[in-house]
């Protein structure tokens, strides 16, 4: 396929690009604004094999340039961090909603298939059981509200214009190249550096962990074999309380357990996410990596790749961290 991958310089997008090049032999154009989370370094080993366009999805001229010659669009581009959406929602509205609209228009004009990468957070929190694709959408944060708005817009382009759209909703991803504002890489790098490990609230919130390559395969299944107009959940094989995740990272890094620090909870913090993925499994997808194995691999990757994260921890991230957590990194 000739794919336009928007947000392909981010954590999941870059994993997807690598997967599609290696396993499917696609021709790929990446369109990415290179925000703090998007980095050419995430594509360091494949930059020669793709076309890279530096631009924003909300910019119709950049989109028109990037989409030239493509058969399908996969949209990963988003502002993705819940905490940043609470302290400053503006960019979330522009990228996640307006940007999705510009991409939909460009794909509609050219009759292209369109896959929207979405999240389990559109359903909100669930105490027990799992959400199916029929569950009501009930987002809690500005991040998840803008992702929900984008999903609804995508569905409207199927219903109104007959556009070939699919939506793939993933649970919490982890793996190499994840920006260290998110729980797992933050805890790994803090553990390695001997920084405190800031656990929100009581640490008993539950997330459904999905290795990034497994999400990449799930998105591929929905893109290639999904029925137009449908959404597909893609949930990880294991769920885990945050505190347990942190304790496991302590074991894997040999850090001091006394580094754990319980800090003020996130406002509106969703307690538990859980997805039923039967519909995607019916397309032949299943997760390959269990959480224990994936976490060990991920800790190993961060230990071996300080070239990737040292510039982040030495740069603007320090200011973000100090502002958000009220203490400096080592």
Which stretches of the chain bind ligand NAD, using CB under 6 A?
A: 6-7, 9-13, 32-35, 37-38, 56-58, 76-80, 95, 99, 117, 119, 147, 170, 172-173, 179
Encoding tokens for residue 131?
């959400």
The dihedrals phi and psi of 208, each to the nearest 5 degrees, come to -105, 100
Catalytic residue from among 26, 32, 58, 120? 120
Q: What is the closest distance, in whole angstroms, from the C-beta atom of residue 102 to ligand NAD in the complex?
A: 9
- Binding partner selected for residue 57 from ligand NAD, ligand DAU, none, CB under the kind-specific 5 to 8 Å limit: ligand NAD
* Given 33, 182, 217, 248, the residue binding ligand DAU (CB under 6 A): 182
Catalytic residue among 32, 121, 181, 214: 121
SS3 222: helix
Q: How many Å apart are CA 45 and CA 257, to the nearest integer? A: 36
Nearer to ligand NAD, 179 or 309 (CB): 179
Task: Considering the complex, state which of residue 165 and residue 242 has its C-beta at the smaller distance from ligand DAU.
Answer: 242
Q: Give the nearest distance from C-beta 27 to ligand NAD in angstroms.
A: 20
Residue 77 binds: one of ligand NAD, ligand DAU, none (C-beta under 5 to 8 A by kind):
ligand NAD
> 30 pairs with which residues across the strands?
5, 52
- The continuous run of DSSP H or E covering 209 comes out as strand 206-211
What are the residues whose beta carbons fall under 8 Å from the beta carbon of 14, sequence distance 6 or more?
A: 8, 42, 43, 177
- Return d(Cα 12, Cα 9) in angstroms, integer: 8
- 120 annotated active-site: yes
d(CA 149, CA 143): 10
Is 186 one of the binding residues for ligand DAU (CB under 6 A)? Answer: yes
Cite the active site residues: 120-121, 143
């Amino acid at each position: 396929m000739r794919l336009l991958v928007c947000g392909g310089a981010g954590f999941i997008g870059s994993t997807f690009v690598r997967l599609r090049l290696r396993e499917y032999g696609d021709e790929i154009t990446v369109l990415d604004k290179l925000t703090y989370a998007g980095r050419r370094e995430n594509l360091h080993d494949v930059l020669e094999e793709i076309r890279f366009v530096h631009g924003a999805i909300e910019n119709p001229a950049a989109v028109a340039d990037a989409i030239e010659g493509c058969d399908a669009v996969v949209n990963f581009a988003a502002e993705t961090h819940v905490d940043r959406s609470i302290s400053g929602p503006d960019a979330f509205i522009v990228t996640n909603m307006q940007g999705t609209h510009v991409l939909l228009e460009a794909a509609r004009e050219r009759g292209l298939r369109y896959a929207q990468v979405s999240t389990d957070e559109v359903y909100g929190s669930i105490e027990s059981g799992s959400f199916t694709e029929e569950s009501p959408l009930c987002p809690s944060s500005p991040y998840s509200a803008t992702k929900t708005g984008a999903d609804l817009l995508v569905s409207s382009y199927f219903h109104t214009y007959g556009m070939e759209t699919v939506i793939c909703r993933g649970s919490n991803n982890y793996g190499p190249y994840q920006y260290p504002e998110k729980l797992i890489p933050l805890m790994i790098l803090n553990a390695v550096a001997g920084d405190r490990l800031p656990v929100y609230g009581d640490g008993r919130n539950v997330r459904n962990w999905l290795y990034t390559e497994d999400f990449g395969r799930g998105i591929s299944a929905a893109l290639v074999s999904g029925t137009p107009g449908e959404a597909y959940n893609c949930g990880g094989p294991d769920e885990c309380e945050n505190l347990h995740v942190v304790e496991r990272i302590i074991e894997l890094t040999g850090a001091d357990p006394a580094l754990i620090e319980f800090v003020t909870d996130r406002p509106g913090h969703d307690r538990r996410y859980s997805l039923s993925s039967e519909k995607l499994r019916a397309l032949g997808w299943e997760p390959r990596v269990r959480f224990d194995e994936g976490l060990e691999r991920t800790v190993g990757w961060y230990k071996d790749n300080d070239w990737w994260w040292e510039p982040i921890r030495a740069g603007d991230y320090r200011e973000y961290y100090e502002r958000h957590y009220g203490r400096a990194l080592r």
